[in-house]
Structures are given as C-alpha cells and as structure tokens.
Structure 1
Amino acid sequence: MWKLVKTGLAMAWYQPFAVCTLFIYNLLWGLLLYKLIRSVAVPLLHRYPGQELSREAVQLFWIEGQFQLTKTDLIHSYLWWGLGLLAARMLFSPLLNAGVYYSLHHQELNAGYRFVRGIRKLTLPFLVLYTVQIALTLAPLYFLYAKVVSSYQSHTSLEGFAWTVLPLLGGFLLYNFVLQTLFMYLQFGVVSGRPLSYSILLLIRNTPTALPLAAFILLATLLISAAVMTSAMIWAGFATLLGYQVYRLIHMFCKMWAITTQYALWDVKSN
C-alpha cells in the first residue's frame, strides 16, 4: 500500500500542467462566486439599519426583505444566475476530468497537448459518467430528508435527534466516498478502452486496497485543511492570505494525488 502511495505521489508531481490548470480554474471560479455574492450582499448591507436606529427599523427591514422575496420576482434573476453557474460547473468538471485522466494514461505525450487532446476525445463519455454520478449522489437525499424531518418531529430532545440523524449522515458520506472511488475507476476504464464491467470487477477485487488508499489521501487532505484554517485564525494578515492561496494549490495537488494513487493501483492490477 505504501508503495502505491509513493508511486501516486511521484505521478502527481509529474503532472504540473494539470495541477496548475485545476488551480487556476478553481481560483477563477471562486472569484466569480465572490463577485456575484458581493454584488448581492453589499447593497443589502448598505440598507441594513445601524445601531443608532430603533429595533422597529430592523424589523421593518426584515419584513420588507421577506415581502420582496415572496411577493415579487426579485429572486428570479438570482436563481437563473445560480442555475447557470451550476450548469457551467457541471459542464466544465467532466471536461477537466477528461484532460486529467487522459494525461495520466498518456504520459509519453507533451503535457499541454495530452490534456487538450483528452478534452477533445473524451468529453462525451466523461460527461455521461459525471451526469450519472450526480444523479446517484442526489438520489438518497429525498430519503435522507424525509428521515431527518420525521426524526425531528418525533424526538423531544436534540440529543435523541442527533443519535438518530448522525448515523444517517455518516452513511450518506460513506456512500458518496465509495461512489466517488467507483466512478474514478470507471473513468480509468474509459481512458484505457476497457468496458465498464471490467472496471467494476477490478475495483471489487481490490476493494481492501483501494478504499484504504482513498481514505488515507482524504485524511491527509483534511489534516492540511485543518492546519491552514487554524493558522488563519491565529495569524491574520497578508501572510495568511498568501498562505491560503498556496493551500489552494496544495489542495489541487492532493486531489491529483488521490487520482494518481488509484491509477497506480489500476495500472498494477490491469497489466
């Protein structure tokens, strides 16, 4: 297992183009969301009554906001913006995945060339897989929502409610963890020209190795995230801002590491 971790780390290190592309994409996406949220939040904050005004003025502000949200079409434009951004995210994610996975499978080619070629050749199958993955991810939410609402209505204490809901949330997270690993192997199969059944069987046979590998990389990523968030709360200023941007790059590298580690296992077991 540790040999696969080291092999995956070395493979991720030799994918600077893909890592930097993912970093720039997520950076631009974050800036776009920031600008959109800021354009909505700042005008509202300018209209919010200050401490010098009475409590009635604050209540009037919230009543007016509720009226505009429920009785006018003010929110429609924001909903369309949100749906448009969601659709763009769902389109760009499989495009980038196609470039990343093709780059891993064709390391003999030039970095930029193989990334773009992967997007051109594999966009459609990766888009189909991504759509199915999203559907399977969202499918249990209806059941989960119904159970949470029913549990909230039947329990008289927050402790009892938590003991009922937390195992359900844990099961949902575990389901998504396994689902993400499964679709990672399905994408390996698409890149290498293998049938989907071959990818599923290979993952099933190597589950005792694949899932611990994925869990280890996930734990390492969470520890890095926790360290950055802790330092941001302790040392505020420009150094923290710079460190956070470096962390975003490291986070993209860890995502690449998670993929390359599983690909190393795939490569060993499929040859």
Structure 2
Amino acid sequence: MRTVIKEGWALVRIQFYIVIILFLYRLLWGVFLYRLVQSAVTPLLLRYPDQGHNELGQTLFWLESQIALMDNREVHIYLWLLLGATVLRILITPFIRAGIYQSLHTHTTEPQSLSFFRGMKRHGLSSMLYYIVELGLLLLPAIWVIPRLYPIAAGALQSPSYLLHILPYAVGWIAYGWFIRQCILYMQLGTVGGHTILSSLLAFFRQILPSVGISLSLGACVLLVFGLFGTVAMIWTGMLALILQQSYHFVTSLVRLWHISSQYQLWHSDISRG
C-alpha cells in the first residue's frame, strides 16, 4: 500500500496543474455559497431582537420570518440561484473527472494539458452517465433512512442524547457512499482505459483492502489538516484565518487527486497482472 501511495504522489507531481484547476473550481463554488448565505442570512440576523428585548419581540420576529418564507419572492430567487448553481456543478464535475482519468492513462504518452482537455472531450458524456448513476445510488438509501431518522430528530429537540441514535445510520451511509464511489471510479478508469466494466469491478474487489487502506490514510491526512487549520484559525483570527481557510481548499484538492492517482495505480497493477 505504501508503494502505491508513493506512486500516486509521483503522478500528482506530474499533473500538478490539475490541483490548481480543482482548487479554483472548489474556491469559486465556496465563494458563491458564502456570498449567497451572507446576502440572505446576514440581513435577517441583524433584525433579530437583542437580549434586552422581551419574548414578545422574539415571537414577532419568528412570525415575520415564517410569513416572509411563504410570501417573499426574494426567497424564491435565492432558491433558484442555488438550484441553478447545483445543476451547473453537476454538469461540470463529470467533465473534470474525465479529464483527470484520461490524463492518468496517458501521462507518459501525451502532453498533460492536451491530455486533460482531450479527456473532457472524449469521455465527458460517458462520465456524465456514470455521475448520474452515482448520484442516484448515493441518494437511494434516503428512501429507507429518512423515515427512520425523523422520529430521532424530533426526539433530539427535547433531548440531545437522541442524536447518538443517528450515528449508526450516518456511519452506514458513509461506508455505503465510499463503496459506490469506488465502484464507479474503477468502472470509469476501465472505460477510459479501454477495459470492460466487469474486469474493472473485479479488480476493485480483489484490491478492496488496499483500497480501503489508501482512503483511510489520505482521509486521516485531510482530517488532521482540517483540525490544525481550524485550531489555528480560532486562535489567530483575521487575515491568517482567512488565508488558512482558503488554503484548505488547496489541500483537499491535492489529497483528492492523490487519492485518485493512488487508486489508479492499484487498478493498473491489478489489470496488468490479469
């Protein structure tokens, strides 16, 4: 597993420009969400009665907010903006994935920048199909989970200890989501590389333990960086906190590409032996 992770890091260094693309992509999405929430929530919070007012003022505030949610056209505008941005991200993400996978397959035979954009052109539509299937499978458990979580969430309003009952569902959904993403990843690597879906899935099942190890190792790195950046940002606020917050997008983009590259090396080694 260590060898695969090292080989994955070597591929990251070759394709470092993709890290920049992922960083800018996530940064723009984060800025959009921040500005959207700021313009929608901040004016509302400024109108919240301070502690010097009585409970009647707070009650009137919540009543006014409920009426605004039902009748205010501005709320509908924010919802449409959020929906439009989400659809745009769904459309862009598969093409970026296709470029990454093509670049991994041709890192020794084609110029990297050309390979990335050729991958978007050649495999963008098939990547879109994979992405739609992935989203559908990830949301499928909601049909079974949400009805069971509703009474737990209602009980949590009275006692926060009820939230502990959500933990098994959350862990199960996360594990299921990882499994689905890895299956789709290996299938798409096979499609871009000219191999069958079945052979790529079999490669994943044969290498599932090293695949889990790679995900856990790199996931632990992200959590460590997140905790470190969050702690420093809380202690030293201001410009340093802002820089660290934006740097986190860069770190996650770097680790994300590292994870994909390591999984590619695992897939490639198994397919080559087969």
Contact 1:98-1:119 within 8 A present in 2 as well: yes
Change (3 A) 1:51 1:165: closer
Structure 2: runs of 5+ lacking an equivalent: none
Distance in structure 2 (CA, Å) of the matches to 1:84 and 1:243: 29
> Which residue is 1:211 aligned to?
212
Identity %: 31
Q: What is the CA deviation profile of residues 220-248 of structure 1, one whole-angstrom value per residue up to 9, with x for unaligned ones?
A: 22112111111111222222322332332
Q: What is the CA deviation profile of residues 60-114 of structure 1, one whole-angstrom value per residue up to 9, with x for unaligned ones?
A: 2221111121245543222211211110111111111111111111113222211
Change (3 A) 1:175 1:237: same
Contact 2:233-2:240 within 8 A present in 1 as well: no
Q: Which amino acid aligns with 1:18?
A: I
> Which residue is 2:30 aligned to?
30
Distance in structure 1 (CA, Å) of the matches to 2:123 and 2:246: 31
Residue range with higher mean Cα deviation, 120-129 or 50-59? 50-59
* SS of corresponding position for 1:88: helix
Shift of 1:166: 1.7
> Which residue is 2:13 aligned to?
13
Shift of 1:186: 1.3
> Which residue is 1:64 aligned to?
64
Per the normalisation by structure 2, the TM-score is 0.90
Alignment of 1:30-179 (within 5 A): 30-50=30-50, 54-107=54-107, 108-151=109-152, 159=161, 161-162=162-163, 164-179=165-180
Change (3 A) 1:110 1:152: closer
Change (3 A) 1:88 1:261: same
Shift of 1:43: 2.9
The reply on whether 1:230 has 2:226 as its aligned counterpart is no
Contact 2:127-2:188 within 8 A present in 1 as well: yes
Structure 1: runs of 5+ lacking an equivalent: none
Q: Which amino acid aligns with 2:207?
A: N
Contact 1:178-1:211 within 8 A present in 2 as well: no
Distance in structure 2 (CA, Å) of the matches to 1:200 and 1:60: 58
Per the normalisation by structure 1, the TM-score is 0.91
* SS of corresponding position for 1:109: coil
